[in-house]
Structure 1
Amino acid sequence: MQKVIIPEEVSISLRKDMERIWDIRQPYWYPLFDCSREDLIAFNSEYIESEEKLKEIITLLKHHGVEQVIEFLETGGTYNLQVSNLYPYYYYNGDFTGSEGFWTSQNMDWIIYASHEGTITFGGEWLINKIKPLWSDWKSNLEWDTKNQ
């Protein structure tokens, strides 16, 4: 997975924009902390963490015109990567990293958040509207979600 480090001064500005746009007020985000945004859905990570779902997520993003992804890791690193190299999970390729992460693009009209509690949150009305019909069993995998019950 090839990543390009984003310089700290740029990273700080991007993170502030992401936090403002997505109402991220704590180090951890929805569903671990409430958020005023309604265009969110939080799944149990076991439901999302498969090669099939990863390919579907990447395809949805590509069809939306996403080519580059910004990755914000809890460990402090911020990176640019190609959408085809997206791996938005708390475990990287089966390895425990202990690092939560946020993934979005430059225009920040979508977001993915992987938590240490076994949740993966998707944000953005367009993305959620594509996910729900694609994954017909989505309602049975929302243990932590309070916005879509």
Structure 2
Amino acid sequence: MESATLHTVARRYLMSRNDKLHAEYADVQKHTRRMTGAPGNYADEEKRIYPRYNVVDAMLREVERLDPDDLPPPARLATALATAASTAQSVFTTNLGPIEAEATAAERELFRRAIKGWLAAPDPQVEPLPYRRVLSDEEAEGWRRRLEQRWGFERNMTEWHPIIGDVPEGVIALNSAAVWDGPGTELVRAALRDMGLRRVIEIREHGDPGSLLDLDAFEPTYTGAEGIWTDETLEWVAYASHEASVAFAGTLADRLRSSWPDLDDWAWAPWWDQPAK
């Protein structure tokens, strides 16, 4: 099996496991809350599921630290994947109780077995995935420092305009519906593509180290974690907040003003200034 195929299969496997486990957890949670009537302590059934998707997230992050453009030979890649299966950690995979620890260990073993199975099987037909490489801690710190110097983001925070104060001239602040329900995401991608970009840097909060990702995978949206996007030039920036806002500045804002016909219709306003429904 070629390295690119093996890496893609591993990424797709972990993404699929993540979706499946979240769906299972939602079903179990509805059942246990209906039975107990209380959202307090986790039931044992829940403890057997949520640690699994937490460790899947951690394993996927380690797998995506490998550069798809510069993968090692298949045997070495398989070893790296197995290492990720055994050692990947996050703030959600430590200090576990006995039930959670057992579930986590079982999920790691599933991934190790899957890796062995892929190596023994004929090359599968697998749909390629957009490029994504998780940044090293040093890279992420460097990007945060540069964003602070160029755009005023605090080093360990993601908050920016419009939620930190009056929106300065040159910054476009829109309601997040512009990218969720409106044409925003495609218009922003098109503007960046016209600027010659193929990939962007993404920085998220909550300990996410950030990524270098394909433009086609770029979505300027709040996902439960605020996000910042830019590129090597730092001539533009995008920011999605927890206050249903998305902001653009620099050369990207200039492009959007000329390419987004109803841009002003999506202008952001704080909830206390919005008309009553």
TM-score, normalisation: structure 2: 0.46
What corresponds to 2:177 in structure 1? 46
What corresponds to 1:117 in structure 2? 243
Once the 2 structures are TM-superposed, how far is the Cα of residue 36 of structure 1 from its aligned partner? Answer: 8.4
Unaligned runs of 5+ in 1: 91-96
Once the 2 structures are TM-superposed, how far is the Cα of residue 45 of structure 1 from its aligned partner? Answer: 0.6
Cα RMSD over matched residues?
Answer: 2.1
Letter in 1 for 2:212: N
Candidates 110, 135, 139, aligned match of 1:10: 139
Report the Cα distance in structure 2 between the residues aligned to 1:75 and 1:141, rounded to whole angstroms: 28
What corresponds to 2:230 in structure 1? 104
What corresponds to 1:94 in structure 2? none
Unaligned runs of 5+ in 2: 1-129, 271-277
Instruction: Please give the secondary structure, in 2, of the residue aligned with 1:136.
Output: coil
Report the Cα distance in structure 2 between the residues aligned to 1:13 and 1:41, rounded to whole angstroms: 26
Choose 43-52 or 15-24, whichever is displaced more.
43-52
What corresponds to 1:24 in structure 2? 153
Task: Count how many residue pairs are aligned between Structure 1 and Structure 2.
Answer: 138
**Paired residues of 2:202 and 2:230 also in contact (CA < 8 A):** yes
Give a deviation string over 1:61-114, Cα, whole Å, max 9, x none: 011011221100112221110112111111xxxxxx310100111111111100
The ranges of structure 1 where at least 4 consecutive aligned residues each deviate by more than 6 angstroms after the TM superposition are none
Candidates 207, 211, 214, aligned match of 1:76: 207
Greater strand proportion: 1
Greater helix proportion: 2
Once the 2 structures are TM-superposed, how far is the Cα of residue 14 of structure 1 from its aligned partner? Answer: 1.1
What corresponds to 2:35 in structure 1? none
Alignment of 1:55-70 (within 5 A): 55-70=186-201
Change (3 A) 1:68 1:35: farther
Change (3 A) 1:133 1:116: same
TM-score, normalisation: structure 1: 0.82
Candidates 249, 252, 258, aligned match of 1:133: 258
Percent sequence identity is: 28
Which structure ranks higher in relative contact order (CA pairs < 8 Å, sequence separation ≥ 6)? Answer: 1
